[in-house]
Structure 1
Amino acid sequence: MIAILKQLTLDSLIPFGWRQSSYVYRSLGIFSRWRETSTLLKFSEDIGAVLISVLLGLAPFSATSLLGVILFCIAVYWVLLTLSENNPFESTPIHLLVFLYWCIATLAVALSPVKAAAFSGWIKLTLYLIFFALASRVLRSPRRRNGVITVFLLVSAIVSVYGIRQQIFGAEQLATWNDPTSEMAGDTRAYSYLGNPNLLAAYLLPAIALSLAAIFVWQGLLPKILAGLFFGINSACLYFTDSRGGWLGMMALMVVFAILLYVWFRHSLPSFWQTWLLPLVLVFFGIILLGGFLFVEPLRIRILSIFAGRGDSSNNFRLNVWESVIKMIKARPILGIGPGNEAFNKVYPLYMKPRFSALSAYSIYLETTVETGLIGLTCFLSLLGVTFTTGVWRLQGLQKQNNLQGFWIIAAIAAMAGILTHGFVDTVWYRPQVSTLWWLMIAIIASHYPLKSKQDNFLS
C-alpha cells in the first residue's frame, strides 16, 4: 500500500536532474558565503517561524493592507534565504504542482482581457504561494511546527470567545445575512473580529481540526485539557455563525478526522473493534446530528433552508451568480480571465443578471475555473490529489514509528476537507485570514515529505 501511495505522490517525476544543467539554479545561492558569516541567519528557520507566527497572530484583528505588508516581508525574507543557501529549493511533488499552478496563473494574466486587475490578483497569489514555500520549510522541525500551531490555536481561541460573547449579548448584524422572510430573520450570527460569519466559519475549521489533533500531540494532562477546551469553544463559535457551508465543512472535517484516526489506531485494536469501531463512530455522529435536527429548532430551520432551492433568498442569490459565472467560463474556458477578485469584478458585470451583483463566484471551484480556466482547475485538482495522497503516505510511515507528529497531518487533511466542502458554496480565499490558513495546511503536509537532499536529517 505504501509503495502504491508513494507512486501516486509523483515522487518519480521530481526533476532532480535539471539542477545540474540549469543556469538559473546554479546562479542561486550567490550570497552563501555571506550567510556563513552572518550571526542572524544562523537562526534563519526560527526567524521564519516568528514571521509566520506574527502573521497568524495579527490576521483576525488587522486590516488586509497590513497583512499584505507582512506577507511582502515574508516574501522578501524567503528570497533572501533562497539567494543565500547552497541548496535553496525543496523538491517535492506538492511544490512542483504549486509552481505549475503559479505558471498557469501567470499565463492567464498575460492573456487576460483585464491585465492590470489580473496582475494585482497575481501579486496576491504569488505572496500566498511564497508564504507556503517558507512555511513548508520552517515547519519541518517538530519544535517550530508545534510552536506555530500553538500560536494559531491561542489566537483562534480569542476569536472564538469574542464570537460566543456576541451570541450571548447580541451584536449588530453588518449585512442582511439571513433571509428576511425566514423565521431566523432576526437571529444573531456571530462574526467576531472577522466581520462576516461565513468568513469566521472558514477561519475556524483549521482551528477545530488542529485543536482536536493537539489533544493527542500535546503531552501532560493540563495541555490536553487546554486543547479540549480550544476544540469546544471553536466548535461552539462555528455553530453560532449559522453558516450552513461552515456546518457542512465541519461535518466533512469530523468524518475525515474519524477515518484517519481509525487508520492510525486500527492495528492496536482488538479484532472486533477493528471491524466495528469506525461504523459505530459514524452512526454516533449521525445520531447526534439527527437529535440536533429534531430538538434544536434554529438548527432545523437552517438545515431545511439548504433544500429550499430558490425559496431561500441566499440560495436564490447564489444560483443566479453561478449561472452568470458559468457563462463567463464558457466565454474563456481555457485560461480564464486571470486571478483575483479585481479581475472578477471587472468582467462579471458583463454577464451578471440584473440585481445580482457579486464580488466572487461563491464557489472556489467555479472561481478557480473562472480565473485560470479548465487548465488551472485540472492543475488545482491534481494538487489536491497529490497533497492528500502524500499526507496518507506519510501518515502511515509516522504511524509505524508511533510518531505523534502524524496527528498534525490528520488535522491538516481534515481541515482541507472541511474548507473544500465549505468552498462548494462560498469563496473565502480572497481574504488573507483564510488563504494563509489554507496554504498553512498544505505546508504542514509538505513539511513531512522526506527531501532527497536532506534525507539523513529528515525528522519523521
Structure 2
Amino acid sequence: MGGVFLPLVAFSSDLALDRWASGSWLHRIVGWLRDWRAGSWLMQWAEAIAVGLVALSFVLGPFVSTTLIGVLLLASGAYWALLTVSDSGESGFTPIHLMLFLYWGIATIATAMSPVKQAAFSGWVKLTLYLVLFLLMARVLRSPRVRSLLIAVYLHVATIVSVYGLRQWFFGAEASATWSDPNSPGSEVTRVYSYLGNPNLLAGYLLPAVMLSVAAIFMWRRTLPKALAVTMTAVNGACLILTFSRGGWIGLVVALFVLTLLFVDWWSVRLPEQWRGWAVPAVLGLTAATIVLAVALVEPIRDRVSTIFAGREDSSNNFRINVWEAVFEMIRDRPIIGIGPGNNAFNKIYPLYMRPKYTALSAYSIFLETAVEMGFIGLFALLWTISVTIYQGIVQLHRLRDRADPQGYWLMAALAIVAGMLAHGLVDTVWYRPQINILWWLAIAIVASFYRSSASSEGNNSAQRWGVEG
C-alpha cells in the first residue's frame, strides 16, 4: 500500500494550485466585495480583527464553557468568509486546504447517509466550525510577526494553566475515582487537572505548549524572553508529567523524539561531514536511555508505565478494550461511510453494541473514531491529509533551513505537535474536545502558513500589510 500511497501524497502536494485558482469559477468569489472593503473604515483593521478573534479563542479556551467556544468559532468562521470575499490579495490556498476540503466533503456525505442524520448534522456543524477556524488561522499566520504573537499568547495562557496545576500537586486536589485503578500501586498519587477538569485533557492541552516553548527558547532573542521560554518549558513539562496521563506521556515522548530529530536535521548542515552519520543514532540512543532511566529511577513513573502492559488487569485498560470490541462491531456493520460525524451520532449508535456497564462517549482512539464516523473512506482521507501535511512541512522546513530562517523552529515544533497529538490520540479522544481541537488546527495552520508554491514569490500580501517579509 505504501508503494501507492507515497506517490499519491507527493502528487497531491505538488499540484499547480496557482493555475487552478486562476481558472476556477469557485475561486472567483475571492475578492467579490473588494471595492466595498476598499471604502470601509472598519475593514482597514481587517487583519488585526482576525488576529484578535484567534487570540481570544486561545485566551478563553481553558476557562469557559464549550458553548462560548462555539460562539467564538462561529464568529471566526463568519469573519473568515467576509475576509475571503473582500480580499484583494492571494487566497493562500495550499495542498493541505485541498485535502481538508476532501475530508470535509466525505464528512458531508457521511452526514447525508447517516442512520441518525440529526445527530450527525450536529457533528458536521462542529467539524465545519473547526475547519473555518483553521482557514482563518492559516491566513493570519502567514505573517511571521502574527505567528510569533499568537504563539506567545497561547504560551502565556498555558503557563497560567500549568501554574494552577502545579499548585494542585503541592496542595492537593480532589480526584475522580475513574482516573486510576484503585488497586494499582499509584492509585494514591495526585493527578493534576487544573482548569480543564480532567488530567488526560490537561495533558493534551499542554503537549503543544511544551513543544512551542522549546522552540521559543531559540526564537525569542533577548535574555529575559529566553529565560521566560525556559521557565515555560519547565513549568508546562512538569505539569504535563504530573497529570500521570499515560496517553499524554506517550504523546510527549513521541513529540520530543520528533522535535529532536528535526533539530538534528536542521543543525546537521553545520556539523563536520564525518559526524553527520552519527547524529540520528545518537538521538535514538539518548532518547532510549532517558526513557529507561526515568522508568527505572522514578517510582511513580515506573508504576504508571507498568499499567500500560497490564492488559485487562488494569481497570482503565479493561474499559478501553471493552469499548474497542464494541467499536469494531460498529465499523464492521458500516465500514464504507460510517454512522456520521460527531459524538452525538456515536452516542446514538454505541448503546446498540456496548458491553453491559461499559458506557462511553467516544471510541477512545481518534483513528477508530474516524472509522466509526466516516468509514474507511474517511479514515483514508484523514491519513492522506496528515501525510500531505507532514510532507509539506518537511519540504518547507528544508527551504527555511537553506535560507537559515529561524522561523523554521516554529515549523519544527508544529510537526512535533502533530506527531505527539496523533500518538496520544491512539488511545484517547481528548482530540475532539474544543480546547484541544483548536490547538490541533493551530499546528496544522502553522504548517500551512509556510507553504510556498514554485510559482509564488517569497513575499505575500498579508505579510506586507504587517510590514514584514513573508
TM over 0.5: yes
After TM superposition, the structure 1 = structure 2 runs for residues 153-168 of structure 1, keeping only pairs within 5 Å, are 153-168=155-170
Q: Is the 8 A contact 2:13 2:391 kept in 1?
A: no
Cα separation, 2, equivalents of 1:5 and 1:271: 31
Letter in 2 for 1:73: A
The letter of the residue matching 2:296 is: L
The residue matched to 1:77 in structure 2 has which SS? helix
Aligned length: 457
Q: Which moved more, 1:183-192 or 1:435-444?
A: 183-192
Per the TM alignment, residue 8 of structure 1 is displaced from its structure 2 partner at its CA by 1.7
1:213, 1:350 → 2: CA distance?
A: 47
Q: Aligned equivalents of 2:38 and 2:224: distance in 1?
A: 42
Residue 150 (structure 1) aligned to one of 152, 160, 175 = 152
* Alignment equivalent of 1:401, drawn from 396, 400, 403: 403
Q: Deviations over 1:98-137 (max 9, x none)?
A: 0110000000000000000000011100000000001001
Would the alpha carbon gap of residues 5 and 138 (structure 1) be closer, same or farther in structure 2, given more than 3 Å must change?
farther
Question: Which deviates more from structure 2 when the two are superposed, residues 411-420 or residues 271-280?
Answer: 271-280
- After superposition, the Cα gap between the structure-2 partners of 1:27 and 1:394, relative to the gap in structure 1 and judged at 3 Å, is closer
Q: What's the TM-score, normalizing by structure 1? A: 0.95
Q: Give the structure 2 partner of residue 76 of structure 1.
A: 78
Which stretch of the first structure deviates more once superposed, 347-356 or 178-187?
178-187
Deviation string, structure 1 residues 132-156 (Cα, Å, up to 9, x no partner):
0010010000000000000000000
Unmatched segments (≥5 aa) in structure 2: 1-5, 461-468
User: 1:231 and 1:20, CA in 2 relative to 1: closer, same or farther beyond 3 A?
Assistant: closer
> Which of the residues 57, 60, 64 maps onto 1:58?
60
Task: Indicate the SS of the match to 2:457.
Answer: helix
Q: Which residue of structure 2 aligns with residue 314 of structure 1?
A: 316
Per mean C-alpha deviation after superposition, the further-off stretch among 87-96 and 238-247 is 87-96
The Cα of 1:281 is off from its aligned counterpart by 3.3
Q: Retained in 2: the 8 A contact 1:9–1:386?
A: no
Q: In angstroms, what is the RMSD of aligned CA positions? A: 1.9
The yes-or-no answer on 1:252 pairing with 2:254 is yes
Greater Cα offset, 65-74 or 292-301? 292-301
Counterpart CA distance in 1 for 2:349 and 2:203 is 28
Query: What is the TM-score normalised by the length of structure 2?
Result: 0.93
Matched-pair contact (CA < 8 Å) for 2:123–2:343: yes
Question: Paired residue for 1:283?
Answer: 285
Partner of 2:389: 387
Contact 1:82-1:88 at 8 Å conserved across structures = no
Q: Distance in 2 between matches of 1:379 and 1:7?
A: 11
User: CA 1:450 to 1:17, structure 2 compared with 1: closer, same or farther past 3 Å?
Assistant: closer
Checking the alignment, whether the CA contact within 8 Å between 2:326 and 2:355 is kept in structure 1 is yes
1:114–1:337 Cα contact (<8 Å) kept:
yes
Q: Is 1:103 equivalent to 2:105 in the alignment?
A: yes
Separation of aligned partners in 2, 1:257 and 1:344: 35
Hey, what does 2:126 align to over in structure 1?
124
- Report the counterpart of residue 214 of structure 2 in structure 1: 212
Aligned letter for 1:97? M
The one of 435, 438, 441 aligned to 1:436: 438
Equivalent-residue separation in structure 1 for 2:137 and 2:183 (angstroms): 46
Structure 1 residues 419, 27: closer, same or farther in 2, change over 3 A?
closer
Kindly provide the CA deviation profile for residues 7-55 of structure 1, in whole angstroms up to 9, marking residues without a partner as x.
8262443455554554443344332111011232223222211111110
Cα distance in 2, alignment partners of residues 219 and 456 from structure 1: 24
Task: Look up the match of 1:351.
Answer: 353
Rounded to whole Å, the distance in 2 between the matches of 1:333 and 1:181 is 38
2:241 matched residue in structure 1: 239
Aligned to 2:3: none
Q: Distance in 2 between matches of 1:111 and 1:271?
A: 57
Tell me which amino acid in the other structure corresponds to 1:351: Y
- With 101-110 and 24-33 compared, the bigger mean Cα shift is at 24-33
Give the C-alpha shift of residue 273 in structure 1.
3.3
- Tell me the alpha carbon deviations over residues 45-86 of structure 1, each in whole angstroms, 9 at most, x when there is no partner: 222111111100110111101111111110110111112124
Please state how far the C-alpha of 1:178 moved relative to its aligned partner: 0.6
Of residues 44, 47, 72 in structure 1, which corresponds to 2:46? 44
**What letter is aligned with 2:434?**
P
Residues 214 and 224 of structure 1 are in contact (CA less than 8 Å); yes or no, is this contact kept in structure 2?
Answer: yes
Residue number in structure 2 paired with 1:305? 307
When residues 291 and 7 of structure 1 are mapped into structure 2, their CA distance, relative to the original with a 3 A threshold, is: closer
* Further displaced range: 446-455 or 14-23: 14-23
Is the contact between residue 5 and residue 389 of structure 1 (CA under 8 Å) also seen in structure 2? no
Per-residue Cα deviation, 1:172-230 (whole angstroms, up to 9, x for no partner): 01342010111222221010100111111111111011001111111112111111111
Select the residue among 187, 200, 203 that pairs with 2:202.
200
Tell me if the contact between 1:9 and 1:93 (Cα under 8 Å) persists in the aligned partners: no
* Amino-acid identity (%): 51
Is the contact made by 1:213 and 1:407 (CA closer than 8 Å) also made in structure 2? Answer: yes
Question: Structure 1: which 4+ aligned runs deviate by more than 6 Å?
Answer: 4-7
Which amino acid counterpart does residue 58 of structure 1 have in structure 2?
Answer: L
Q: Are the equivalent residues in 2 in contact too, given 1:6–1:390 (CA < 8 A)?
A: no
Partner Cα distance (2:457, 2:232) in 1? 35
Distance 2:343 2:37 in 1: 39
For residue 377 of structure 2, what is the amino acid of its counterpart?
Answer: I
In structure 1, the residue matched to 2:295 is 293
Q: Does 1:445 align with 2:447?
A: yes
